[in-house]
Amino acid sequence: MRREGVQVREMSAGDLADVSGLCERELTLDRGAGALPAILTRRPHVGLVAEDGPSRAGGAQGQHRAGGAQGQHRAGDAQGQHRAGGAQGQNRLLGACFGAAEPATPAGAERRTGFVDLVVVDRAARRQGIGAQLVAGLRERLAASGCQVIAVRGHGVHYAWPGIDVGYTAAICMAEDLGFQRAGCEVDMRVDLLSVPLDTRAAEERLGRAGIEVRRAGTGDDGPLQASLATTWVPDWIAAITAALRDDHAGLHIALRGQRYVGFCAYGVNRLHEVGPLGTDPGLRGLGIGATLIKRCLADQRDRGLLAADLGWAGPLSFFSHTLNAVISRTYWTYEKDLTAPGRPARWQDRIGLI
């Protein structure tokens, strides 16, 4: 059944508190889901809300076109008048979504990708076409900003998930029914902070004898650290390390050999219970640097009152399983939809069991 009178419009900064409440209520598999809108608005994004209510002067359509032409905007840039309608009690928030376009077509890639990063609908308003309307709104805007492919997978530093959690059954069904093709699988791992041994003193003494110093990063590292690591690690990881270094709520531990930075591990880049990224210089692996760094982060998280930490979008799995007794805690499927494919591509679901 399609619900009549639903307005889809650009999200404004004034919507964020309500959208956060909706995420907190409806994203039941997530810890601290209310923080997700604030995370996703830390980068250029498209945010849309669906609401019940009369159309207003100026109309949602005009705003849609403005957003589509710009492709992306920050919530804080959007017009405040929409929220004013909600504040007067005229409109009720029914759903919200976030997406983003790749900043530009990556070198060597033929096509630019846009992403669906989060879709959520109030449980009292489900199966009325609102989720599909929100995804269509994102698709329209991402296509207008030059995207030929729409993907559902992790990207960038400030992301919510690496794909769709298979436990969000309705979201999986919706993605597949809307023609997204399953592309891959990612997992999170969880570490029990009360049982994992986190004492690193012996390992640090051993590393010290090999000329490797392990310590907490400080403001004096900001600059030399990124310059040193940027020759080895992807820009997203350098950005994550920088975010951890500059955010009082996050933490970063590093390893040095002489003046050279040879390892790092961050936590709390997005949410306090998340740990990573973690990296050891390829020439110095197998010495215990990575295990020492991540244990120092986990000890911080435990000391800050957490019972468990999550390795989001985790890999290599055996390293974390072996070193930390980490277990696979969440499984995500990633999806893609080719906007340039002629007609509706054959759905793999329709081929199940056929020769």
Long-range contacts at 110-113 (CB < 8 A, ≥ 24 apart): 111/147, 111/148, 111/149, 111/340, 112/146, 112/147, 112/148, 112/149, 113/147, 113/148, 113/149, 113/150, 113/151
- Complex with ligand COA: residue 84 or 132, whichever CB lies closer: 132
For ligand COA, the binding residues in 155-184 under the rule CB under 6 A are 164, 168, 170-171, 173-174, 177
For ligand COA, the binding residues in 199-238 under the rule CB under 6 A are none
Q: What backbone torsions phi and psi does residue 342 show, to the nearest 5 degrees?
A: -70, 135
Closest distance of CB 212 from ligand COA, Å: 41
Given strand 212-216, what is the order of strands in its sheet? 212-216, 251-257, 260-267, 275-280
Contact 79, 9 (CB under 8 A): no
Q: 25, 31, 42, 127: which one contacts ligand COA (CB under 6 A)? A: 127
Cα–Cα distance for residue pair 180/185, rounded to 1 Å: 14
**Does residue 332 touch ligand COA according to CB under 6 A?**
no
Contact 73, 67 (CB under 8 A): yes
- Complex with ligand COA: residue 84 or 178, whichever CB lies closer: 178
Cα–Cα distance for residue pair 259/87, rounded to 1 Å: 55
**Does residue 96 touch ligand COA according to CB under 6 A?**
no
Closest distance of CB 171 from ligand COA, Å: 3
Closest distance of CB 35 from ligand COA, Å: 15
Map residues 104-123 to x or -, x wherever contact with ligand COA holds by CB under 6 A.
--------------xxxx--
Closest distance of CB 121 from ligand COA, Å: 4
Closest distance of CB 175 from ligand COA, Å: 8
Q: 35, 38, 84, 132: which one contacts ligand COA (CB under 6 A)? A: 132
- Complex with ligand COA: residue 91 or 128, whichever CB lies closer: 128
Cα–Cα distance for residue pair 270/247, rounded to 1 Å: 10
Long-range contacts at 174-180 (CB < 8 A, ≥ 24 apart): 174/119, 174/131, 174/132, 174/135, 175/335, 176/335, 176/347, 176/349, 178/132, 178/135, 178/337, 179/337, 179/344, 179/345, 179/347, 180/150, 180/152, 180/335, 180/336, 180/337
Among the residue ranges 13-21, 56-64, 125-133, 197-205, the one whose residues contact ligand COA (CB under 6 A) = 125-133
Map residues 1-40 to x or -, x wherever contact with ligand COA holds by CB under 6 A.
-------------------------xx-------------
**Does residue 256 touch ligand COA according to CB under 6 A?**
no
Closest distance of CB 330 from ligand COA, Å: 12
Cα–Cα distance for residue pair 42/134, rounded to 1 Å: 21
Q: 44, 129, 146, 179: which one contacts ligand COA (CB under 6 A)? A: 129
**Does residue 309 touch ligand COA according to CB under 6 A?**
no
3-state secondary structure (DSSP) of residue 150 = strand
Positions that interact with ligand COA (CB under 6 A): 26-27, 118-121, 126-132, 164, 168, 170-171, 173-174, 177
